[in-house]
Every structure is written in C-alpha cells, then in structure tokens.
Structure 1
Amino acid sequence: MPTRILPAVGDADAVRSVTTLLSQLPDAEPVAPVTDSTQLVDTLARLAAESVDELPEVVVVHERIGPVPALELIREVALRFPAVGVILVTSDASPGLFQAAMDHGARGLVALPLGYEELASRVQAVAQWSVGVRRHLGSGADLLTGSGGTVVTVCGAKGGVGTTVTAINLALAAQASGRGSALLDMDLQTGDIASYLDVQFRRSVADLAAITDISPRVLADAVFRHDTGLALLLAPGEGERGEEVGDRAARQIISALRSRYEVVVVDCGAQLGGAGAAAVELADIALLVTTPDVIAVRGAKRTVRMWDRLQIRKAEETTVVVNRHIRGTEIQPALVQRITGTAVAGTTVPAGFKELQSVVDAGRLHALDHRSAVKQALWRLAGELGLAAATEGTRRGGRLRGDRGHRGDRAPAGLRRRREAGG
C-alpha cells in the first residue's frame, strides 16, 4: 500500500526541493502540497470528515511554514488528527529542538539540507507508526476525526460596545440548544464574565499558561461549571497575571477546549494582545462588535485593517455585529459594511439599557427575561451563526449583509470554510 505524504511548505524553492525528493521515495504517494498552516488544517479536516482512512499517513512540516509557527502547528495537528504522523524539516537539528518537536507531537525530525536516506528512513518509520495506530483504533477510528468544536471569538471595536454581553449570550444560547459549550474570558486584564454571572472562582486561564500538555483532567480542574451548564474558563482575578498567558498558551488552551466542547466562545475584549490575536487567528467565526456611532465604527475599521496587516484575519473573514441599533440613526449596517469591508450580521441588537441594568447589577445576566429584546436578538444571532437552533425570527430575518450567495449559504466566511472542511 503506498504511503500518502502531505508536504506543508511555505517557501516556493523549498516546495520544489521537498516534493521532488518525496516523489523519489519507494511506495510514496505525495499529495499536492499546502503552503500555509490554515490550508493544512483545513485540508486535514476535510479529509477526516470523509473518513480517517482518507487522511495521509505522513505530514511533512517545513520550519518556515506560516503564519502559525511550525511547532504550534505540529501540536494542533497531533491533537486534532492523532492518526497522522508529523515530521519536522528544519535547519536546526540540535537536541533541544528535537526534544521540543517531540514534546509538541512530532514523530520525527529531518535536518536540512534534505538527504534521501535520512528522509526515506524517517518517512518509512512514521508511516508504519501511523498504520499501526489506525489498525489499533479499528472501528473506533471514526471517533478521532479531529474536527473538534466551533470556536467563536468576540472582540470589541472599542471599550463599552457590549462585547461581554454578546459573548455570554451566544454561549448561553448554544448551551440551551443542547450543544456542550464553553465560555473563555481572554480579556486577560479587565475580564468581567465572572461579575456578569456572579461567579466566585479559584482557578483561571492563567493557571493553564505554564502547562505544556493540557490533559482532560487538568482542563476540568480549571473550568468552572455554571448553574446553566455552561463551562467557564475565566480571566485571572489579578490583572497582572494576564501577562502569563501568551499566544502559545492561548493556542494550547483553545485547542484543549475545542477538543472537549461543541462550541467555544472567546471574549477577547477590545484590547488585543498576543493571546487574543492567536484566538482570532484560530477562530472559525470572528465577530467584531460595534455600536452605530462614528467613534466605534472608526475603531472597527482600524481593528480590521490591523488584523489584515498582521495577517491575523482578512476583512472578508470577519463579521461585524451592530449593537444598540436604532432604526432612525444615520449609521446603518449597510454603511458599516462599506466602511469596514467586512460582512455584517443580519441580526442587529437593539439598545436595552433599562432591561439589562438590573440583571447586570445583580450579576445574573443569565436570568435576563426571555421577553427581553436584547436577549431575543442575541439568541437569534446565535441561530444565524449556526451556534444554536434557528428560531422562526432567525429564519425570517437573520441574513448576513453583503452575502449574495443562495439561501443555503449564509454563514460567515470562517464558518463556511469550516463546513466545507467537514467541521
């Protein structure tokens, strides 16, 4: 049986070198190479959705792959696709990097410049390991397809636009719909989810920052189970501890949550550091909350442009949510769409200070009356995004503005990519 090998190489010259050598290996069947980390994960997810048997036995990751660093990419592949063996191709063959690669889930390391004998030996060993894993899994292999849950990030165009209220309600709607859901507070210095839900907690996301292998038991110890059934992973009570959570830790924490819950909602706040940027980059759906005023819309535009410059996320892969919408105001969703260049959620959220004040002050946002216009709108938004069962109101009015597709394709770009990939 031929060994299917998927190269993940970002550099054009390296692509030619790697694919040429792979094609010369005995019984090798190189697959068309992928050129960045997102394309690799999406390709594997699409194949895994069909069957574990469709996955390549070996993935070869070049050290200059991007935008996700090679070691972090290897960890994500190892967590989500445990029947795939990963080989790291690198110019640094030091014992330190070898150990780091193994710790992140690689099955082998090959030094640059590539040599036929070393590559052939490593590919053969990793392929045999992969075949053995699949044989051991047997009929249960379909349980490890690696698609994981849907990750939704909620960011604010500026402070005070309603980011946390939006994030909490999306998570509550998903949980109430019967989907196991987690809410992660990645607003590391000023996160207030605990206050909105009147939660007293001991452990926070900072307690997971230094852990290199987040097991289900370790994750369960850090998560607070709310009365609604929602799993909460909260920002640290001491704001200075937020600095302990870097982009690497954020990737590991989100990957661990994604493997355990169907929906993971991440409140990133309005100030985006390394951890929040990593969350937005990993997200299947990235929401940017704004209010219909000049300052907030300018902030949304500035954020979208920054994400694009830093290669965190493209404008067309971002969905803006208009909060505190008033029909008669001059700034309407269509104008927001033109200014930001993003999609805009078809569901707008009305202003509701009076109906929110009492439950927010009491720390019982989850007890907001079902007749609340704000709650109805946010739960419709959850249905529009595919996070919860669509209500009649969602089916009538929940269409993303700027999406000219047919009626069956109204999800944001990130969610469409995930659906196409089998997630």
Structure 2
Amino acid sequence: MPTRILPAVGDADAVRSLTTLLSQLPDAEPVTPVADSTQLVDTLARLAAESVDELPEVVIVHERIGPVPALELVREVALRFPAVGVVLVTTDTGPGLFQAAMDSGARGVVTLPLGYEELAHRVQSVAQWSVGVRRHLGHGGDVLPGVGGTVVTVSGAKGGVGATLTAVQLALAAQASGRPTALVDLDLQTGDVASYLDVQFRRSVVDLAAITDLSPRILAEAVFRHDCGLALLLAPAEGERGEEVTDRAVRQIVGALRSRYEVVIVDCGAQLSGAGAAAVEMADRALLVTTPDVVAVRGAKRTVRMWDRLQVRKAEETTVVVNRHTRGTEIQPPLIQKITGTAVAATAVPANFRELQAAVDAGRVHALDGKGTVRQALWALAAELGLVKAPETALVRRGGRARGTDRGTGGFRRRKE
C-alpha cells in the first residue's frame, strides 16, 4: 500500500527540492503540497471529516512554514489528528530542538539540506507507526471522526473553591445527555474525584505516563467505568507518584481520550504543574472556578496572569465560573470579569452547602437531588458550554436556572495557536 505524504512548505525552492526527493521514495504517494499552516489544518480537517483512512500517513512540516511557527503547528496536528505521523524538516541539528520537536508530538526530525537516505528512513518509520495506530484504532471500538471530542479543563483559583465538584457535575451532565464522557483527575497530589464518587481503584493516570504509543486496549485497561456510565481516569493514590506524569504524557493521554469520547473533562486542581499546564493549553475551553471573596478572586487574577506569562493561555481565552454566589455579596461577576480580564460564565453557582454535604460525605456526588439549586446550576453551566445534547439543554432550561445566570458576559473562544 502506498504511503501518502503531505508536505507543508512555505518556500517555493524548498517545495521543489522536497517533492523531487519524495517522488523517488519507494511506495511513496506525495500529495499536493500546502503552503501555510492554515491550509494544512483545513486540509486535514476536511479529510478527517470523511474518514480517518483518508488522512495521509505522513505530514512533513518545513521549519519555514507560517504563519503559525513550525513547532506549534506540529503540536496542533499531533493533538488534533493523532493517527497522522509528523516529520519536522529543519536546519537546527541541536539536541534542544530535537527534544522540543518530540515534546510537541513530532515522530521524527530530518535535517537540512535534505538527503535521500535520511528522508527515506524517517518517512518509512513514521509511516509504519501511523499504520499501526490506525490498526489499533480500527479494532479498538468507536473512534470519533474529525478533530475528536471537546476537552474542558477545570482549575481552581485556590484550594476549596469547588473545582472538583464542578468538573464532576459537568461530566455527569454530558454523560446523562447521551454523550460518551471521560473525567480525568489531574490534581495529581491531592485529587478527590475518586472520593467524590466512592471509587476503589487500582490503576491511575500514572500507569499511562511511561507508555509511548497508547492503544485503545491499553487506555481501556487504565480507565475505570463508573456505574453512572462515566469513564474515569484517576489521580494516583500515592500523591508523590504524580511527578511521573509529564506534560508530554498528558498531551498523549488527553489526545487519546479525545479521539474516543465526545467530551473529556479534566480536573486540574488549584496548583499549576507541567501536566496541568499542558492540559489547559490544549483544551477547547479552560474554566477557572472562584468564589466571590477577595482571597479567591486575587488567586484567580494571579492564575490568569501566570498562564499568560507562561504562554499557556490568554486571559480572554479563559472563562471564570463563580461558585457560592449570592446576591448580597459585595463582589459580583461583572467585577470579577473586570479584575481578571476573562470571560465570566453566565451561569453562577449558588451558595448552598447544606444541599451538598450529605452527598459529599457519602461519596455520592453523582446522586445529588436533581431539584437542588446547586446541581441545577452546574447542569445549566454544562448546557451553556454546549456539553449536553439539545434535548438535555431544553430539560435543564425548563428545570430552572440558578440565580445570577443573567450576569457576566459568558461566551467562549476556541484557542488559536
């Protein structure tokens, strides 16, 4: 079977040189080159919408591609199209660049000027990897077409603001509406998802951290299937093992989950780690939960600024969720929006811990009373985010919205690399 190779090269001379060499490779089928990053992603998305099998096995990204820098483009392709092997072509032969390319998701690096032997060896190796991935996907159950499922991260402005409860309820709402949903606990040292759902487990996200190529079978062995239908990938019982989960591992794990579930909710906790930062960076929507008090709002502002400095996520691409909201509090959602520079979810979650206490203590957060104001608000938030199917959205709206749902700006914008 011929290997389909799609070059992404912005320089005309480089295009001619690369296509000439590619045409000489045995069993190679070069595809018409694309000239920039936007054209590459659009082309792959169009092919993926038809079938994973329509995608080229190999994409070659030239270092002078634009307008998105080459490494960022490699990362986006690797995350959105996990069955495609990406090769970076570059003049930089240093170990730093090689490591950066691997961390971004490249399957290989070829140095300039191009040589036949090196190019042929690398393309053949990457093509074999791509074929293997597709074989696993083909026999591993349902795989979402196109760019895959929606990834939403939930972080806390500080500890105790309700990020885990928010993440769990968003996942439950999505699952209840008929959308296959995975909930990941990336609060690696102090994760409480297992406690909230009264789960006894053996495997955790750590068991996937050292695996280079995640097959559906390996992923399924690490996922715990809860009685409510949620697929859970839990934090390790031994918090010190959380250090084994690197940002590179998270990109691969979340990418694999995204290809198999319509919705992936990631609880990132309140402490920024490399793993959590990677999840926030690759998320379609990043939520930051705060309570309407001075300490928490300052924490939210601090987190947003840190994400911006580290180039994890811009403030305007982050959405704050206000938990424990009351009309009488001095700090209201519009003020939080002004202080943090973020969007604020239109749905605010009311303060009513008495409604939650019994369920939290029993580890049965999944059994919260559907008539309770907190549960209704969190499920309305899921509808606002587009995580539930249309019939469920209508049901939530009929069930009533929490106080404060007319506040804030709401709205989300997908992050553009």
State the TM-score, normalized to the length of structure 2.
0.79
Where do 1:191-210 residues align within 5 Å?
191-210=191-210
Which secondary structure does the structure 1 equivalent of 2:280 belong to? helix
Distance 1:216 1:268, change over 3 A: same
CA-CA distance at 1:224 after TM superposition: 1.1
Could you tell me how far apart the structure 2 residues matched to 1:250 and 1:370 are? Answer: 33
Contact persistence 2:143–2:259 (CA under 8 A): no
Q: Hey, what does 1:7 align to over in structure 2?
A: 8
After superposition, residues 205-354 of structure 1 pair within 5 angstroms as 205-354=205-354
Q: Is the 8 A contact 1:150 1:264 kept in 2?
A: yes
Secondary structure in structure 2 of the residue aligned to 1:324: coil
**C-alpha deviations, 1:21-41, integer Å up to 9, x for none?**
457777873313228xxx966
Which residue of the partner structure matches residue 409 of structure 2? Answer: 402
Query: CA contact under 8 A between 2:7 and 2:31: conserved in structure 1?
Result: no
The ranges of structure 1 where at least 4 consecutive aligned residues each deviate by more than 2 angstroms after the TM superposition are 3-9, 15-30, 39-59, 61-68, 72-77, 84-88, 90-94, 113-133, 142-146, 391-403
SS at match of 1:189: coil
- Name the aligned partner's letter for residue 33 of structure 1: D
Q: Distance in 2 between matches of 1:164 and 1:124?
A: 43
Whether the 8 Å CA contact 2:8–2:35 is kept in 1: the answer is: yes
Q: Aligned partner of 2:283: which letter? A: A
* 2:184 match: secondary structure: strand
Q: Shift of the alpha carbon at 1:226?
A: 0.8
Q: Which residue of 2 aligns with 1:407?
A: none
The percentage of aligned residue pairs carrying the same residue is 63
Deviation at 1:325, TM superposition (A): 0.7
Matched with 1:356 is: 356
Say if 2:71 is the partner of 1:66. Answer: yes
Tell me the secondary structure at the aligned position of residue 204 of structure 1.
Answer: coil
Q: Which residue of 2 aligns with 1:175?
A: 175
* Structure 1 position 229, deviation (Å): 0.8
**Cα offset for 1:6?**
4.5
| Normalised TM-score (structure 1) | 0.78
Which consecutive residues of structure 1, in runs of 5 or more, have no partner in the other structure? 10-14, 137-141, 404-409, 419-423
Secondary structure of 1:355's partner?
helix
Change in 2 beyond 3 A, CA 1:197/1:393: closer
Q: Name the counterpart of 1:365.
A: 365
Paired letter, 1:325: H
2:58–2:130 CA contact under 8 A, matched in 1: no
Number of equivalent positions: 387
Residue 186 of structure 2 corresponds to 186
Other-structure match for 1:161? 161
In 1: Cα distance, 2:110 partner to 2:208 partner:
31
Contact 1:156-1:290 at 8 Å conserved across structures: yes
Equivalent AA in structure 2 for residue 30 of structure 1: P
Matching residue of 1:406: none
In structure 2, how many angstroms separate the alpha carbons of the residues matched to 1:124 and 1:243? 34
Give the 3-state SS of the residue equivalent to 2:329 in structure 1.
coil
1:267 to partner: Cα distance:
0.3
Q: Measured at CA, do residues 29 and 187 of structure 1 come closer, stay the same or move farther in structure 2, by a change above 3 Å?
A: same
Q: 1:307 to 1:20 in 2, by over 3 A?
A: farther
After superposition, the C-alpha distances for 1:73-107 in whole angstroms (9 at most, x for unaligned) are 67546xx353x45323244499xx79x97xx774x
Q: Does structure 1 conserve the Cα–Cα contact (< 8 Å) formed by 2:9 and 2:35?
A: no
**Structure 2 gap segments, 5+ residues each:** 24-29, 64-68, 136-141
